[in-house]
A and B are shown apart, each in its own frame.
Chain A
Amino acid sequence: QQQVKQSPQSLIVQKGGISIINCAYENTAFDYFPWYQQFPGKGPALLIAIRPDVSEKKEGRFTISFNKSAKQFSLHIMDSQPGDSATYFCAASRPEGTYKYIFGTGTRLKVLA
């Protein structure tokens, strides 16, 4: 019940295309869902996050879609660029003082020029 399942494991997209990464969770106590972007040899960087009272959040080319009833959320990267090639992690956390994350297993995205 503590897992966050992420798919696909890897993704290849043409430049200008839409990249879609999906995550599913089971614990309905989770109340915060961030996405992180990680380049090789670097620490993950917070990209965008959403709370379950919102169905969609958009920041630039990045959009999170959230389906509370299905317990799923996804990251959409519009107009994907070669510079977006990185590993993306979804996560979930509970409303407690530790704010611990449960991370997905990651998606390696490659955008072809």
Chain B
Amino acid sequence: SQTIHQWPATLVQPVGSPLSLECTVEGTSNPNLYWYRQAAGRGLQLLFYSVGIGQISSEVPQNLSASRPQDRQFILSSKKLLLSDSGFYLCAWSRGHEQYFGPGTRLTVT
């Protein structure tokens, strides 16, 4: 069966500090991968998606970036965090229409 992991689970970072969130998927190959952000009490905003290694598409201009160094690894990064980057970050994978979400990372920028 397939499993998706995200870490860390929670993170508190000061404004201006760098960020690296990691997502890995087990039990499948060549999945589509997605990064979403969810503000408190709000909906899901698609940030990036990837259909293969090194292939990244950005949905929303911002100071975040994503990379896919391996088939089942997806990384979300920032060089300098802003207060507005606070939120719940979710990674998801799919092999077709069905998307499966990870447990999420709660990021608080102080």
Task: Flag whether A98 is at the interface (Cβ < 8 A).
Answer: yes
Chain A interface bracket (under 10, 10 to 19, 20 to 34, 35 or more): 20 to 34
Most buried by A among B49, B97, B98, B102: B97
The residues of B that contact A34 with a CB separation of less than 8 Å are 97-99
Contact status of A46 and B104, CB under 8 A, knowing A97-B51, A98-B57: no
| B97 contacts A43, C-beta separation under 8 Å | no
Task: Flag whether B87 is at the interface (Cβ < 8 A).
Answer: no
Contact status of A44 and B43, CB under 8 A, knowing A98-B32, A98-B51, A100-B49: no
Q: How far is the CA of A103 from the CA of B98 in the complex (A)?
A: 13
The residues of A that contact B92 with a CB separation of less than 8 Å are 43
- 14 more CB-based (< 8 A) A-B contacts, given A34-B98, A43-B90, A45-B101: A41-B104, A43-B92, A43-B101, A46-B100, A93-B97, A97-B32, A98-B32, A99-B32, A99-B94, A99-B97, A100-B49, A105-B43, A106-B42, A106-B43
B residues near A (Cβ < 8 Å) are 32, 34, 42-44, 46, 49, 51, 57, 90, 92, 94, 96-104, 106
